[in-house]
Amino acid sequence: MKKILKFLFLSLNLDFFIRKFNKTPRILFWHGVDFIKNNQVEAESFHVEDFKKQIDFLNKYYEIISIEEFYKRFIEDSFTKKEVVLTFDDGYLNNLTVVAPYLNEKNIPFTVFVSTEHIETGELFPTSIARLIIFGTNLKEISIPTLMINESKISNSTEKKEIYNLVSFALKNSPVDKVRDIVDDLKNNLTKKKYNLLVQSYSSVLPMNWEQLRQLKEQGATIGSHCKYHICCHKKQNYNVVKDQIQQSKVILEKKLDYICDFFAYPNGDYTLESNKFVKESGYKMGFSVEKKRISKSLNNISAIPRLGVPSDLDSLKLIMAFYPKVKFKAYNI
């Protein structure tokens, strides 16, 4: 039923009318874009052709502006309400090899939020590791002692999904020390050699290194911070750890890339009152969360400006852009 409604809605071009009505500046975010072999393993990446269609649609019907211009208009309260800002989280190598060539060719500005420890060490992001081990191998059993998972069966897709959901929830909701332990446990299910071969066979999960990030910046992308390690800044994290992650990632980026890092995006969108304070105190001009809320100078905290996650295909993006953020909304205080 939903599919039929979606088909009718789009084939009658009704999104065209709603687009005229639901005007608001929007900040969108993707992660990676690549030539994908396995949707479950590479769930953070978009298919190249789908991404290109989405960009062409946005470029045709919206005003794509840089994050610097967005900040200026926010401060001046001078939005045309047709603005779209393109952002990419984590710092995947394909942002340099796939995203940048397409956007640069069209002179479209974009921002990449990177986690500096992953740039430094090449360590994959925690959920990428979980997906690789659970969906990308033929393991029949898996052990993750930190989560009291011992030799649990993952021999079919239902079992794999169940374990993945459990692990993903733990990775997103645990303190960073426990996240690191879970990651070590996950890797221990394979020999080092097998793990390295597995990583090599899925290049879309790779983060950039410093030289590659420097190239991306020199080509015109804005580089923002996404913490040092990819930690979620929720209430279960230690206060000082969050402070260090927010402050020091800025220091490291500025030293390595010789610029002023003005923008910060929360991994997984999680923030607290304290973390918002750290964003301000660290000297960022603006911080970004992940919420389907409207953007306006009077409603939003400058340390947690809402962003919309882009769905995987063009039709779903058209619907998101037509209906979200919803026009009726409650004012909120943070």
Q: By CB under 5 A, name the binding residues for Zn ion.
A: 89-90, 267
User: And the tokens for 190?
Assistant: 């394979």
Min dist CB 132 to Zn ion, Å, is 16
Nearer to Zn ion, 279 or 314 (CB): 279
Radius of gyration of the chain (CA): 20
Min dist CB 95 to Zn ion, Å, is 12
CA of 280: how far to CAs of 88, 122, 286, 329, in Å?
A: 22, 29, 8, 26
Nearest alpha-carbon partner for 293 in 322, 254, 332: 332
Min dist CB 230 to Zn ion, Å, is 6
Nearer to Zn ion, 15 or 89 (CB): 89
Min dist CB 265 to Zn ion, Å, is 7
Spacing of C-alpha 157 from chain mean position: 26
Min dist CB 331 to Zn ion, Å, is 28
CA of 123: how far to CAs of 25, 228, 241, in Å?
A: 35, 12, 19
The answer to whether the beta carbons of residues 167 and 143 sit under 8 Å apart is no
What is the residue-wise DSSP string for 64-121? E--HHHHHHHHHHT---S-EEEEEEEE-BTHIIIIIHHHHHHTT---EEEE-HHHHHH
The answer to whether the beta carbons of residues 208 and 187 sit under 8 Å apart is no
Min dist CB 52 to Zn ion, Å, is 23
Min dist CB 33 to Zn ion, Å, is 15
The answer to whether the beta carbons of residues 228 and 116 sit under 8 Å apart is yes
Nearest alpha-carbon partner for 26 in 263, 292, 234: 292
Residue nearest to Zn ion (CB): 89
Residue 305 contacts by C-beta under 8 Å, 6 or more apart in sequence?
Answer: 27, 74, 286, 287, 288, 289, 295
Nearer to Zn ion, 113 or 135 (CB): 113
Contacts 24+ apart (CB under 8 A), 73-80: 73/25, 74/286, 74/295, 74/297, 74/302, 74/305, 75/297, 77/297, 79/24, 79/25, 79/295, 79/296
Nearer to Zn ion, 25 or 126 (CB): 126
Residue 91 contacts by C-beta under 8 Å, 6 or more apart in sequence?
Answer: 112, 113, 114, 115, 118, 119, 207, 208, 213, 226
Min dist CB 122 to Zn ion, Å, is 16
Nearer to Zn ion, 142 or 170 (CB): 170
Min dist CB 90 to Zn ion, Å, is 4
Nearer to Zn ion, 25 or 267 (CB): 267
Nearer to Zn ion, 90 or 117 (CB): 90
Nearer to Zn ion, 163 or 265 (CB): 265
Nearer to Zn ion, 164 or 288 (CB): 288
